[in-house]
Structure 1
């Protein structure tokens, strides 16, 4: 799955969020071919080497590839008023695409079929239509289209009169559709009703459609008119004329995230996330009566939630120290009861009309399953994708390391047959930066383990799930702050005997790719090689070329633009330190990437080419990641093989 916000996170492209989405693990594979020779590039960078096989043993070779090929699927999402009309995304065809599932007939069918895949989709409330976002070759610039749920019709424009752009939210009612679009000029929000489309909001700042009430009288939008898109405010509009019903902003450094309105018609309660006490918690706001209820749950870490169908309870997803679990919170009694899910990661969850909860679950050792928990507590497998299930991997353990900014949490995995001596170790740095590594099944982690590497995943400052102060500690000094935590964990790994200090690789995609390039430039004696996927390499050039939503994010993160705080951008940009790089580097990048654009990566590589440093470049004709499984395998093989050669393991 592709990476998430800032250079990694999904822009405010949320369709309806009735089904709770847990944090999506960052992608580690990024494209469809090495095409630099055809692009008129002035410097011909050495291409990445793609091995025919990673392992001499046929069983080991088949096993790592099988983990990527194994069919997977998301938790089904159903139409609000037609719960038999379901959609999900799956890689069953070899590319991540949208599928329809008619529960009444049991029929499953593939809806989309595009060379670079399709990930963002939702249904209309009546179940008649499937909406999906139509971009070009992964560039994330396009428009929403729709086609009949029953099939037999081509995709048509979803909302007439709305220009193309980056997605900024979508809410679909019976009589009204609200859609957000972001361009270099800022954000625009449109509504279509009674055959007419009108723009009802525009701002140079980041904004998006957030939630539509059940009776379609009220619309919640998220905005950053106060100048900080990382800590948004919320506004409620009356859809009759789009006048303001209510505004809510908690002040500097305290964001409000609208989740969804009550599923009961006439009920004006909106469920939100707030961070008034230093972490994300739940708030129920009656927007018409302007009363609110903060839900103080006796749980460590952070939470998200969605409504049960009768609006008498919430389905809560709890995140703590790299793992997630499910709870039911009764709004009348304030009773919080665990649904007793196994230790691991909840990849998504939703409560059906009969009260049953459907969810995705996996752990580092066990591949994902789509399960259903009935109201009597019975838990069964709901859906099994076609084909063979992915081979198991090994579990992760926790490490807690004292760093300069506090205790750093890391997840650690050792190869099954590893001896007691120090191991070659890869430190994989997640994207985001506002994301986190979790105890979930990862074919990417597993192949490094199969290749004999220990794997260390660091939830550095900037990660989510550890409170607002930890997440926001990187403000004003991004990149360098995170690397202080990575250095602390690296020191622990060496001192504990896990990692061989001469054979440590730093790797990551998106924000993790940015940290990788920054690490090999600012910590050149700590690393033996670097693997950077879709990175920020030259931050000033990246700011000039990236989508406006990310410029807004960067201004909030850095404390201004490159024009207003040039010293911060220079200090925190990998290209500043390129002359200090002395270890082999592999860079992977997409021609159509709007988050980490290709020009700034070429700037870095041109500087690298002028020095006597071995490096390789994998350039592909897509965007900020790949939804094509064969391409994922190709690039993963390039990454692991590069590290093996850099460490003289083959």
Structure 2
């Protein structure tokens, strides 16, 4: 890893900046037939790039080196080549390139395929690749690409779809698709490489029942056509085995609360189960024949990624045994963190698998749980607070997605606010994952307004409990969180003293027309149609509709190459602020939907913190703390 390991951090450097600058790594991916060859992402040079790791020699090599970073890459099954996606300055539109694992020149991986947004990739052992593409003109297309031959189109549809996996012998392909028109709930189709259908599995029943499926991968065994999938039939995500050649399905006895995902053990006899519940996660081994669960010991917190890797031939005798994995010859490796402790790549043996050189990220404060009764049920919020007694100035840091959730995991941004004396509240509003299908699927038609009802309920709790100073509450977030920030500033204008919106949806109609095709499908699902079909819903859910009601100073940051929240619709919102003379600042940067450059991330957060400190009113300890105060103009009933 190319970093000056002798360099020492500046003792005057703030702790919050160290958390961003400290080198970190992703969980290494490994080649299926050469598990000693791995690929990972690291910011060790100050920009997130791909790195190759030969575990037999412990040699590390930087694979990509681009001004705005690279994170999408995959190893071929034999470990001989690395495929990586090449876009332009974060616009997510480009082609797959490839490079030898040992190093060498980059070349187009599939000559003849025009640039596109990526829609999945699967690479076979004979060199065949199945490449998914998405464009505004064609929707989703999938292409069979054999070495030395022209790519052949084997799939096309206007709705979103993607390549999920190839079977071990390359005779079966699984595609996740939303041809029924519900972009939140995919169906599965298994085909031959030429695109002819073998089997279908669709729990949505043509879109009349809101149930989704996801492909987790074919069995990693020659001649084995079993496909591990995830389903929502019991009201949550859980795994199941589907045999597409016979049509049989096998339910699994995974008696754990919350959402459950899984991946295969290398011999196909067991599953590595990832279990997520109430913003924490852990690991289990599931024996398929015995139908038994065995815990894989991990610290309390969150496991972001995990894999069961065949033990390397050079590993010491007995290494990895007796860890509760239940299978000799396999190492469980995982990326773990908590709100208080920085991420690390561990083995189930308790050892650190990959430790980047350089300074270490300082810890932060632990997270506390808050359960608040909201209009749609109990809302879970995560709270971090500085030393001392409240009420504190409080940042409501809203997650993106919307189908995502905040967890007890390390994050530099909330930790930075705590360092500056703020409490931080993160709300897993309706639409978030991790709390059952009904909670996620509640986000329909009154998009944005539903989530803000939950955020308002948590804000009211935070004020009533003495945590938050009602005069000094900040609403902020990125992507969907940035969208909710702008929408909240307009629909709850008396609740927020400052707004901080990063890469937001600001003008929903213009955003729809300018965004990538897959997001158009999602918006049609969420709102029940296009802006031309349901104009009243887009108007009710668009921050631009309420821009003249915004009272709080607002800081907006936006990437000029962003394909998800395009810049034109942000400029439309800013123009309206300028027309009113409303207090605001805008920061535009040359990247896409966020930045992969560490110093750029620090700069943006520094600008946000400075903006908040300049615009927040001074504390008024003798003033009524706002119990029962008006939470702003209610958007309820706007359909």
Q: Shared fold (TM-score greater than 0.5)?
A: yes
**Aligned twin of 2:423:** 454
- Measured after TM superposition, the shift of residue 649 of structure 1 is 5.9
**Aligned twin of 2:198:** 245
Matched, 1:323 2:280: yes
Out of 83, 88, 99, the residue aligned to residue 136 of structure 1 is 88
Please give the secondary structure, in 2, of the residue aligned with 1:434.
coil
Out of 276, 298, 301, the residue aligned to residue 258 of structure 2 is 301
Once residues 390 and 424 of structure 2 are traced to their aligned partners in structure 1, the CA distance between those partners, rounded to angstroms, is 15
Once residues 409 and 538 of structure 2 are traced to their aligned partners in structure 1, the CA distance between those partners, rounded to angstroms, is 34
Once residues 565 and 410 of structure 1 are traced to their aligned partners in structure 2, the CA distance between those partners, rounded to angstroms, is 32
Q: Is the 8 A contact 1:423 1:500 kept in 2?
A: yes
**Aligned twin of 2:124:** 173
Q: Is the 8 A contact 1:281 1:296 kept in 2?
A: no
Please give the secondary structure, in 1, of the residue aligned with 2:14.
helix
**Aligned twin of 2:338:** 363
Q: Give the structure-1-normalised TM-score.
A: 0.89
Matches within 5 A, 1:259-278: 259-278=216-235
Out of 110, 121, 141, the residue aligned to residue 62 of structure 2 is 110
Once residues 144 and 503 of structure 1 are traced to their aligned partners in structure 2, the CA distance between those partners, rounded to angstroms, is 47
**Aligned twin of 2:368:** 397
Matches within 5 A, 1:344-493: 344-353=301-310, 354-373=329-348, 378-415=349-386, 417=387, 419-493=388-462
**Aligned twin of 2:494:** 525
Once residues 601 and 233 of structure 1 are traced to their aligned partners in structure 2, the CA distance between those partners, rounded to angstroms, is 34
**Greater RCO (Cα-Cα under 8 Å, separation 6 or more):** 1
Please give the secondary structure, in 2, of the residue aligned with 1:441.
coil
- Measured after TM superposition, the shift of residue 442 of structure 1 is 1.0
Once residues 433 and 60 of structure 1 are traced to their aligned partners in structure 2, the CA distance between those partners, rounded to angstroms, is 38
Once residues 409 and 61 of structure 1 are traced to their aligned partners in structure 2, the CA distance between those partners, rounded to angstroms, is 34
Map Cα deviations across residues 502-551 of structure 1 (whole Å, 9 max, x no partner). 00000000000000000000000110000000000000000010000100
Once residues 614 and 525 of structure 1 are traced to their aligned partners in structure 2, the CA distance between those partners, rounded to angstroms, is 15
- Measured after TM superposition, the shift of residue 397 of structure 1 is 0.5
Q: Is the 8 A contact 1:529 1:583 kept in 2?
A: yes
Please give the secondary structure, in 2, of the residue aligned with 1:145.
strand
Map Cα deviations across residues 302-354 of structure 1 (whole Å, 9 max, x no partner). 01110000111100111111111111111011111111211111121100112
Please give the secondary structure, in 1, of the residue aligned with 2:39.
strand
Please give the secondary structure, in 2, of the residue aligned with 1:94.
coil
- Measured after TM superposition, the shift of residue 194 of structure 1 is 4.8
Q: Is the 8 A contact 2:253 2:292 kept in 1?
A: no
Matched, 1:208 2:156: no
Map Cα deviations across residues 68-97 of structure 1 (whole Å, 9 max, x no partner). 100000011110001111110000000000
Q: How many residues align?
A: 585
Once residues 308 and 463 of structure 1 are traced to their aligned partners in structure 2, the CA distance between those partners, rounded to angstroms, is 29
Once residues 390 and 367 of structure 2 are traced to their aligned partners in structure 1, the CA distance between those partners, rounded to angstroms, is 19
**Aligned twin of 1:42:** none
**Aligned twin of 2:527:** 558
Once residues 390 and 519 of structure 2 are traced to their aligned partners in structure 1, the CA distance between those partners, rounded to angstroms, is 44
Q: Is the 8 A contact 1:60 1:450 kept in 2?
A: no
Once residues 388 and 59 of structure 1 are traced to their aligned partners in structure 2, the CA distance between those partners, rounded to angstroms, is 11
Q: Is the 8 A contact 2:231 2:238 kept in 1?
A: yes
Q: Is the 8 A contact 2:472 2:496 kept in 1?
A: yes
Matched, 1:150 2:102: yes
Matched, 1:343 2:300: yes
Q: Is the 8 A contact 2:125 2:169 kept in 1?
A: no
Q: Is the 8 A contact 2:398 2:426 kept in 1?
A: yes
**Aligned twin of 2:114:** 163
The list of structure 1 runs, each at least 4 consecutive aligned residues, that deviate by more than 2 angstroms after superposition, is 58-62
- Measured after TM superposition, the shift of residue 160 of structure 1 is 2.0
Please give the secondary structure, in 2, of the residue aligned with 1:391.
coil
Once residues 253 and 450 of structure 2 are traced to their aligned partners in structure 1, the CA distance between those partners, rounded to angstroms, is 31
Q: Is the 8 A contact 2:371 2:380 kept in 1?
A: yes
Matched, 1:513 2:513: no
Once residues 578 and 352 of structure 1 are traced to their aligned partners in structure 2, the CA distance between those partners, rounded to angstroms, is 52
**Aligned twin of 2:320:** none
Once residues 249 and 188 of structure 2 are traced to their aligned partners in structure 1, the CA distance between those partners, rounded to angstroms, is 14
Matches within 5 A, 1:57-68: 61-68=13-20
Once residues 581 and 187 of structure 2 are traced to their aligned partners in structure 1, the CA distance between those partners, rounded to angstroms, is 50
Q: Is the 8 A contact 2:135 2:517 kept in 1?
A: yes
Q: Give the structure-2-normalised TM-score.
A: 0.90
- Measured after TM superposition, the shift of residue 215 of structure 1 is 0.6
Unaligned runs of 5+ in 2: 1-9, 311-328, 620-639
- Measured after TM superposition, the shift of residue 59 of structure 1 is 6.1
Map Cα deviations across residues 8-31 of structure 1 (whole Å, 9 max, x no partner). xxxxxxxxxxxxxxxxxxxxxxxx
Matched, 1:120 2:95: no
Map Cα deviations across residues 76-123 of structure 1 (whole Å, 9 max, x no partner). 111000111111000000000000000111100111000000010010
Matched, 1:231 2:200: no
Unaligned runs of 5+ in 1: 1-57
Once residues 23 and 389 of structure 2 are traced to their aligned partners in structure 1, the CA distance between those partners, rounded to angstroms, is 35
Please give the secondary structure, in 2, of the residue aligned with 1:379.
coil
